[in-house]
A and B are shown apart, each in its own frame.
Chain A
Amino acid sequence: MTRRVTRRATRPALRAGAFATATVLVLGACSGGGGGSSSTASSTSGLEGEPAEGGVVQVLQNADFSYLDPAKGWDGGVNNFYRLVYRTLTTPASGSAEDPNEIVPDLATDTGTVSDDGLTWTFTLKDGLKFDNGDPITSAEVEFGVSRAWDPEIGIGSPYAKQVIDAPDDYQGPYLSGDLPTIETPDDKTIVFHLKAPFPDFPAVASQPNFAPFPVDSGAGDEFLNDIVASGPYTLDEYTPGSVINLVRNENWDPATDEVRTAKPDGWHFQLGLDPATIDERLLAGQGSDVNAIAGNLQPATLARLQDPRYSDRLVDWPGVCTTYMGLNTTKKPLDDVKVRQAISYAVDKAAVQNGTGGTMLADVASTTIPASVAGHKDFDLYPSEGNTGDVEKAKALLAEAGYADGFEMTLDMRTQPKLQAQAEAVQQSLARVGIEVTFNPIDTSKFYETIGTPKLQNDAAITGWCPDWASSASTVIPPLFDGRRITDKGNSNLGQIDDPAINSAIDDALAITDPAAANEAWGNLDEQVLEQAPIVPLLVEKVVLLPGENVTGVYSSPGVATGGLDYTGVGLKDPSKG
């Protein structure tokens, strides 16, 4: 069965609207784009033109990728990279596709066929699939690749295979336990998965990085730490951790088998370990090979320097897919009182949080859990205020009703990084207006998730973010954040620790809906239902603001692979001889 998802309200194409107030920044091309009605709105004058064959794309990056091994890595940055070197059964559509949120076939000929009971999914592989060493990719290699997810040390990436696919309780991956019996490979082209329970979103699960195929018995221990076996259009030429990744063409990749990747450039050169400020300076200067450079989000301080028209042509501005929110721990007094939580929802000055994050160019104020660019978004604002600066009167009234007219004290878990600190301070200041005194519990970045994900250690509130694992549905937004039965001792993501039977059953209902459109409507309504309880305060959706080099084109957003950022698969150079 093929899933079709209704188009989102806003396309992740270039949007000029946010610049309206910055006079010089109004893009010349916005007349043609805007609104998202046109399917080709994702190009501007500076980024026009089809990518030509050849050249090397330069990627300037601060941090190294987490892991080259797709069973280990799982985040917006590395997932995007994986698509250059690995293929999976399915994959999110290219950023340039009509609906980039859609899940489309990749190694498989379609997005899978489900049995009537919803428990068995069957995929058929395309012809002509090969690894970079020329060996054919068959169902055995796909099975082997997936089964690595069960290895306790290697399978630390995407959890969905383990959560959804049925497996023996003591199964520990191919190296320790051998073949996984619940994945069948009746012939070289067919692979059959047996699930624990029906999971209509299984095609999205099959797009997770750990569905990449690997030669049987490869990849034990640290084998894939510094080298890989590629199935995508590029393969690893050089890797110096923390400093350089060089990709060259995988000659055994057949473009005829791949509808997603255009793979126009001859290679990719990742320069890692660069300071964010250095990256911005280089992008601004655009010297030498930096005309072919792409990078992540610009720094807030850089935005003020983009008033020069020579930059505005190249500037890319997309809505994000990750919600920044403040979780309110409903097990703590007085946050167990819904009126107090609603009061906080009213009191928070979201505009101040937005400014601390980098202002209107880097973030949109959020009033919902599901971001506008993710399927299932419903537009509502339960706690509105003028200019999003907070409604102090309403908040005070609610506090008085709850018996806290004089306010109270609460502790906010925070990380001491400039942006996160500014967000926390903005919340602290705005809550002070209604008498709520916020003290900080600063936590080292590396320990932050461990702390807030452990209910025993968690304090009253914490500011964090959530990105959907795929943008085709909100099934990876609402359940992890609000399903009371998913609260665990460690690694908990339901920060509000809300356990409401009505919400729980509504989640079950929504998960069972097989019609995507109906499911999305259900998620949107559920979002509203949850926020009436105010277990979290949605704060922002951080945007994507990029400044690609002037020779770069094919710049499209991918909500599914790159959490709203630049989709590498379409990127190419206008003139390969440059730089």
Chain B
Amino acid sequence: MTISMTTLEAETGGAPSVDAAPPAPRQGVWHHLLRNRGAVLALSYIALVALLAVAAPLVVKLSGWGPYEFDQAAIDPNLGGLPIGPLGGISAEHWFGVEPGTGRDLFARIVYGARTSMLIALAATTLTTLLGVLFGLLAGYHGGKVDQVVSRVMDFLMAFPALIFMIAILSALPASNRAPLLVLVISVFGWPYLARVVRGQTMTLTQREFVEAARASGASGWRIVVLEILPNLRSTIIVMTTLAVPGYIGTEAGLSFLGVGVVPPTPSWGQMIAQSMSWYAVDPMYFLLPGTFLFLLVLSFTVLGDRLKDVVDAGERR
């Protein structure tokens, strides 16, 4: 399930080990990725969604309808506001049909919904990675009391029923600006999964000769961490981060689906699916379209993460 943190849990077992040679050069990774059909397709789709998200205002100028514009002519007021025409009102006018009840253009809403999904997922990923790497390094390098404290906090956060708590806390918080809150809440519960791996690998690396050598030569703690340890964690961090992105996209959509996500009228895929629920029998396109976009985005990031992991693992085996 896209919301459960166990997705990450399962992946950590397969995180690349640090015992092997230094990470494969970036060029090599790209080279290998671009030779994989799945990875290329995934990258293309992600690029497409990212492009739609960035260029949303331009795109809807092309399609002719904004995400908030009502089109009363596209719905039938006598049938509960059902879109007029087959397939949820798909026409030259409305490429993906319209939303029941309001007649808003689904294409424009999906395009703007991509903004929400991408923005929140990427922001959450960035914050989670920062927190995870920072605390992982801190605990792994310092050990002792620092490690104790960080590890206990991680245990605590991971034992927490994160989804239930996220829903509860978001519903209680003021609704005016949910996006930063969503990012914050997702990150607070997300970082331990990366930090745990970073901590373990840092501990191993700290014992290694080159770190000991650096230490013997009198390098300061942060210098060692940044120059000696961090570069060795690069592939781990990249892989784990890529694998975490689909989780965050799913979580954002899930929370929006449950009504504690972004605030309307800002469109979000999860929210659209939630609203389509009562219409699924008469207007299946209403849930199929945002559902497909969401599914493909999560799938693409999962595929990309998988392939990236394969490439990095293979690089390390060589």
Distance to closest chain B CB from A150 (angstroms):
33
**25 residue pairs bridging A and B, Cβ less than 8 Å apart:** A21-B78, A277-B278, A299-B80, A300-B80, A300-B278, A301-B100, A301-B278, A303-B79, A349-B72, A352-B72, A352-B102, A354-B77, A355-B77, A358-B101, A359-B76, A359-B77, A359-B78, A359-B79, A416-B175, A417-B259, A421-B264, A421-B265, A440-B264, A440-B265, A442-B264
Give Cα A45–Cα B279 distance, bound, in whole angstroms.
29
Contact among B78, B259, B277 with A22 in the assembled complex (CB-CB below 8 Å): B78
Distance to closest chain B CB from A444 (angstroms):
6
Check if A351 sits within 8 Å of B102, measured CB to CB: no
Which residue from chain B places its CB closest to the CB of A305 in the assembled complex? B282
Complex A-B, nearest 4 residue pairs according to Cβ-Cβ distance, in ascending order: A303-B80, A300-B80, A359-B77, A442-B175
Contact among B68, B80, B259, B282 with A362 in the assembled complex (CB-CB below 8 Å): B80
Distance to closest chain A CB from B290 (angstroms):
15
Distance to closest chain B CB from A2 (angstroms):
42
Which residue from chain A places its CB closest to the CB of B178 in the assembled complex? A442
Contact among A351, A440, A443 with B72 in the assembled complex (CB-CB below 8 Å): A351
Segment of A126-134, A194-202, A376-384, A424-432 engaged in the interface with chain B: A424-432
Give Cα A305–Cα B75 distance, bound, in whole angstroms.
15
Contact among B69, B72, B103, B171 with A444 in the assembled complex (CB-CB below 8 Å): B171
Q: Is A240 interfacial (CB-CB < 8 Å)?
A: no
Check if A416 sits within 8 Å of B264, measured CB to CB: yes
A340-383 residues at the B interface, CB under 8 angstroms: 349, 351-352, 354-362
Distance to closest chain A CB from B254 (angstroms):
16
Give Cα A304–Cα B279 distance, bound, in whole angstroms.
9
Check if A276 sits within 8 Å of B278, measured CB to CB: yes
Can you list, as one digit per residue, whether each of B81-107 has a CB less than 8 Å from chain A (1) or not (0)? Answer: 110000000000000000011110000
Check if A352 sits within 8 Å of B100, measured CB to CB: no
Check if A359 sits within 8 Å of B102, measured CB to CB: no
Check if A300 sits within 8 Å of B264, measured CB to CB: no
Contact A356:B259 (CB < 8 A) given known A300-B81, A301-B281: no
Which residues on A sit within 8 Å (CB–CB) of B265?
A: 421, 425, 428, 440
Check if A425 sits within 8 Å of B102, measured CB to CB: yes
Which residues on A sit within 8 Å (CB–CB) of B72?
A: 349, 351-352, 355, 389
Contact A356:B282 (CB < 8 A) given known A416-B175, A416-B264, A428-B265: no
Q: Is B27 interfacial (CB-CB < 8 Å)?
A: no
Chain A contributes a number of interface residues (CB within 8 A of B) equal to 42
Which residues on A sit within 8 Å (CB–CB) of B313?
A: none
Contact A422:B278 (CB < 8 A) given known A304-B80, A358-B81, A442-B176: no
Distance to closest chain B CB from A399 (angstroms):
21
Chain A CB within 10 A, most for which of B69, B79, B172: B79
A402-432 residues at the B interface, CB under 8 angstroms: 416-418, 421-422, 424-426, 428-429
Q: Is A38 interfacial (CB-CB < 8 Å)?
A: no
Which residues on A sit within 8 Å (CB–CB) of B175?
A: 416, 441-444
Which residue from chain B places its CB closest to the CB of A280 in the assembled complex? B278
Q: Is A302 interfacial (CB-CB < 8 Å)?
A: yes
Q: Is B45 interfacial (CB-CB < 8 Å)?
A: no
B136-173 residues at the A interface, CB under 8 angstroms: 171-172
Contact A301:B80 (CB < 8 A) given known A352-B70, A416-B259, A429-B69: yes
Distance to closest chain A CB from B225 (angstroms):
43
Distance to closest chain B CB from A478 (angstroms):
30
Interface of B is mostly: loop
Distance to closest chain A CB from B204 (angstroms):
48
Check if B79 sits within 8 Å of A22, measured CB to CB: yes
Which residues on B sit within 8 Å (CB–CB) of A303?
A: 79-80, 82
Which residues on B sit within 8 Å (CB–CB) of A389?
A: 72
Which residue from chain A places its CB closest to the CB of B276 in the assembled complex? A301
Which residues on A sit within 8 Å (CB–CB) of B264?
A: 416, 421, 424-425, 440, 442
Contact among B70, B80, B172, B259 with A361 in the assembled complex (CB-CB below 8 Å): B80
Q: List the interface of chain A (C-beta within 8 A of B).
A: 18-19, 21-22, 276-277, 299-305, 307, 349, 351-352, 354-362, 389, 416-418, 421-422, 424-426, 428-429, 440-444
Q: Is B252 interfacial (CB-CB < 8 Å)?
A: no
Check if B275 sits within 8 Å of A418, measured CB to CB: yes
Contact A422:B102 (CB < 8 A) given known A22-B78, A444-B171: yes
Q: Is B263 interfacial (CB-CB < 8 Å)?
A: yes
Contact among B68, B80, B176, B283 with A358 in the assembled complex (CB-CB below 8 Å): B80
B228-284 residues at the A interface, CB under 8 angstroms: 259, 263-265, 275, 277-279, 281-283
Which residue from chain B places its CB closest to the CB of A363 in the assembled complex? B77
Check if A300 sits within 8 Å of B78, measured CB to CB: no
Which residues on A sit within 8 Å (CB–CB) of B70?
A: 349, 352, 355, 425-426, 429
Give Cα A355–Cα B102 distance, bound, in whole angstroms.
6
Give Cα A444–Cα B170 distance, bound, in whole angstroms.
10
Give Cα A349–Cα B281 distance, bound, in whole angstroms.
29
Check if B81 sits within 8 Å of A305, measured CB to CB: no
Which residues on A sit within 8 Å (CB–CB) of B281?
A: 301, 305
19 more contacts with CB within 8 A, not counting A442-B264, A444-B175, are A22-B78, A22-B79, A301-B279, A303-B79, A304-B79, A352-B72, A355-B75, A355-B103, A356-B101, A357-B101, A358-B81, A359-B75, A360-B77, A425-B68, A426-B70, A428-B68, A440-B264, A440-B265, A442-B176
Give Cα A242–Cα B8 distance, bound, in whole angstroms.
36
Chain A CB within 10 A, most for which of B70, B76, B101, B259: B101
Which residue from chain B places its CB closest to the CB of A545 in the assembled complex? B80
Check if A361 sits within 8 Å of B78, measured CB to CB: yes
Which residues on B sit within 8 Å (CB–CB) of A276?
A: 278
Which residue from chain A places its CB closest to the CB of B104 in the assembled complex? A425
Check if B81 sits within 8 Å of A416, measured CB to CB: no
Which residue from chain B places its CB closest to the CB of A25 in the assembled complex? B78
Which residues on A sit within 8 Å (CB–CB) of B171?
A: 444
Which residues on A sit within 8 Å (CB–CB) of B283?
A: 301, 304
Can you list, as one digit per residue, whether each of B48-89 has a CB less than 8 Å from chain A (1) or not (0)? Answer: 000000000000000000001110100111111110000000
Give Cα A422–Cα B81 distance, bound, in whole angstroms.
11
Distance to closest chain A CB from B99 (angstroms):
9
Give Cα A302–Cα B72 distance, bound, in whole angstroms.
19
Give Cα A444–Cα B70 distance, bound, in whole angstroms.
25
Contact among A18, A355, A440 with B81 in the assembled complex (CB-CB below 8 Å): A355
Give Cα A357–Cα B80 distance, bound, in whole angstroms.
8
Which residue from chain A places its CB closest to the CB of B66 in the assembled complex? A429
Which residue from chain B places its CB closest to the CB of A20 in the assembled complex? B78
Which residues on A sit within 8 Å (CB–CB) of B75?
A: 355, 359
Distance to closest chain A CB from B192 (angstroms):
29
Check if B80 sits within 8 Å of A359, measured CB to CB: yes
Contact among A304, A421, A443 with B82 in the assembled complex (CB-CB below 8 Å): A304
Distance to closest chain B CB from A218 (angstroms):
38
Contact among A304, A357, A416, A418 with B282 in the assembled complex (CB-CB below 8 Å): A304
Give Cα A26–Cα B84 distance, bound, in whole angstroms.
20
Contact A360:B103 (CB < 8 A) given known A416-B259, A442-B176: no
Check if A299 sits within 8 Å of B278, measured CB to CB: yes
Which residues on B sit within 8 Å (CB–CB) of A429?
A: 68-70
Distance to closest chain B CB from A302 (angstroms):
7
Which residues on A sit within 8 Å (CB–CB) of B101?
A: 300, 355-359, 422
Give Cα A362–Cα B76 distance, bound, in whole angstroms.
13
Contact A277:B78 (CB < 8 A) given known A300-B101, A426-B102, A444-B171: no
Distance to closest chain B CB from A420 (angstroms):
10
